[in-house]
Chains A and B, each alone.
Chain A
Amino acid sequence: MTIKSINGCIGCEECVKSCPCDVIRIDPDSGKAVIAYPADCQICHLCRMYCPVDAIEMAPEKSIPVVVPWG
């Protein structure tokens, strides 16, 4: 799931700008942030830390199996 949900977004775009991986975008109709590309989330929490209203919920799991050197 990585970045999991956004509740109480005010549409300030801080998360969109501060996400290094371009995971979040503003929905043009609602003016609020949506998780547009969750598979590219690197779970670094910058969006959550930049959000002024603490709207972002994170989870440690990725939605797809990940490649690591051994397992």
Chain B
Amino acid sequence: MKPTARMSAIIAGLVIFLGLPLVFYALGEAPRRSILKEAFSILTLLAFSLMIGQFFLARSNEALLSLFKPPQIQKVHKYIAYSAVAVILLHPVLIVLPRAFEGGVTPWGAFLTMITTLDSLGILLGIAGWILLLVLVVTAYFRTPLMKRFTQRYRGWRYFHGGLAVAVTSLGLWHAIELGRHTDIAISAFYVSLTLVGFALLARLYLRAHPNKPRMSPVSEGAAS
């Protein structure tokens, strides 16, 4: 039973977090541009949905914990952190980079204009989200020494990491809906629903948590990297 269930879980994950965004992209009305630009667009869309997917690759997702060992989930969570999050961190550059291969504004000129348009709510949200995401990445990388500084050790770290992730995702989602070339109503609704489910899982975990008695030993469990 378990291998089938595992396979189903993997396929469901791929369909929801990679397949559906591609379908929404294909059905979207944003005009197509060069292959390079469209590739960057798709990459960014997928990276964003994988980032939302991180909420489902954590110990908040009990269904998944019943199918896979926590270190397995943690590993995937970590790989996505390295790849998808890198794309999200780089996406402002990916937007301007193709200008190097055509006439018009230079990539650097475009980048400067973009990040100095501070009267735009979407840009402010994006910059705030980007900085928090960077904090999220750096703190996750140095989580072991960091954990010792929290009074509640692992639990404190978990609240910190989860809370930061919620903030980053909220800002990122709002930013994407506000400015995204491809974030039409359909894909926005999809991302919002997915995010809300992810937040709900996390909330359930936190609300249920027993303050003094973690069920398992902190370091080995959970996909909280």
Chain A residues at the B interface, C-beta cutoff of 8 Å: 4-5, 7-12, 14, 31, 48-55, 57
Contact = CB atoms under 8 A, between A and B. Distances in A.
Contacts of A7: 30-31, 181-182
A9 B121 CA distance: 12
Question: Is the contact region of chain A dominated by helix, strand, or loop, or is it mixed?
Answer: loop
A51 B182 CA distance: 17
Contacts of A4: 31
B105 A52 contact: yes
Contacts, number: 59
Interface string B49-86: 00000000000000000000000000000000000000
B104 A31 contact: no
B95 A54 contact: yes
* Count class of interface residues, chain B: 20 to 34
B33 to A, nearest CB: 7
B193 interface: no
A68 to B, nearest CB: 27
A8 B179 contact: yes
Nearest to A9: B179
B111 interface: yes
A55 to B, nearest CB: 7
Contacts of A9: 179
Contact of B181 (A11, A14, A52, A55): A55
Contacts of B99: 54
Contacts of B144: none
B104 A8 contact: no
A32 to B, nearest CB: 9
20 contacts: A7-B31, A7-B181, A7-B182, A8-B182, A9-B179, A10-B117, A10-B120, A10-B179, A11-B120, A11-B122, A12-B117, A12-B120, A31-B121, A50-B105, A51-B105, A52-B95, A52-B96, A52-B110, A53-B181, A54-B95
